[in-house]
Amino acid sequence: MANVMQFITDPFFYFIAIPAVLLVGIAKGGFAGSIGSITVPLMSFAVDPVTAAAILLPILCVMDLFSAWNFRRSFDVSHLKILVPGSVVGITLAALLMGKLTEDHIRIMVGVIAISFCLNHWLRLTARSYRPGKTSGYFWGALAGFTSTQVHAGGPPLSVYMFPQRLEKKTMIGTMVMFFFFINYVKLIPYSYLDLLTTRNLMTSLILMPVAPLGIWLGYWLLHRLSEKLVYRILYVSLFMLGVKMILEGTV
């Protein structure tokens, strides 16, 4: 019975983790989807990045059930046929390297992803006049699978492929939702094989789980009431500063 009740008890962890899970829910609710990339860097202040990713995965899987249901009629199969095979390659590679990358390596990777995502937004690198083709889709799908497996930050590389496709907004969001629905459940396989879904991590996930639907509801509410422009400015600056901090922590 004692083993079943194992979970993280540090109050500082929950002080960080509850807002982090709330942010993921807000992103899954459709508002300012990029903020999901902040989650692992945030939680890394309380636990190591690998543990943070392991705790978040079951929560993401539950969230994806609701998101996939909401967008079940609004997604583009043709793009998923390109992205999904690439993602499997990325997930496999990430699983093979997960036990070999140090915490500093992961921190640096998280920082690079965060800064790259911000620069991509500010410099409008994805606002290109042409649409990425199949080869590009396989590459960005693989990179999204890799970064998502390591630190749940598959959004930035996926966006590089999806945004220039100029799909109808709901269709684009739905396609991305279905992509992450697939890869998050596939990620359960390597996470289980690597013994990351421990009793302690799963019990901690269970404690944080009630925050998830609140975040999804809040994201939907915010989407219809607040200006995304102002929120994005704040979040991108915060994410950039956070990325710099993570790189410094990983290199110093």
What is the tens place of the pLDDT at every residue in 126-185?
A: 555 567 788 999 999 999 999 889 888 788 788 778 877 878 877 888 898 899 999 999
Cβ-Cβ contacts under 8 Å for 81 (sequence gap 6 or more): none
Element (H, E) at 21: helix 11-28
Q: Which amino acid is at 244?
A: V
CA angle 5, 10, 12 (to 5 degrees): 145
Average pLDDT for the chain:
84
Among 239, 219, 79, smallest CA distance to 158 is for: 79
Burial of 232 (0-12, 13-18, 19+ CB in 10 A): middle
* Tokens standing for residue 251: 């290199």
CA angle 210, 214, 217 (to 5 degrees): 145
Lowest pLDDT segment from 55-59, 111-115, 201-205, 231-235: 231-235
Given a contact cutoff of 8 angstroms between Cβ atoms, the answer to whether 180 and 68 are in contact is no
How far apart, in Å, are the Cα atoms of 127 and each of 6, 110, 165?
48, 24, 10
**Per-residue model confidence (pLDDT) at position 2:** 47
* Tokens standing for residue 141: 């799908």
Lowest pLDDT segment from 51-55, 88-92, 96-100, 126-130: 126-130
Cα pseudo-dihedral 90, 133, 176, 47, rounded to 10 = 30
Instruction: For residue range 237-250, list pLDDT tens digits in order.
Output: 877 887 787 788 77
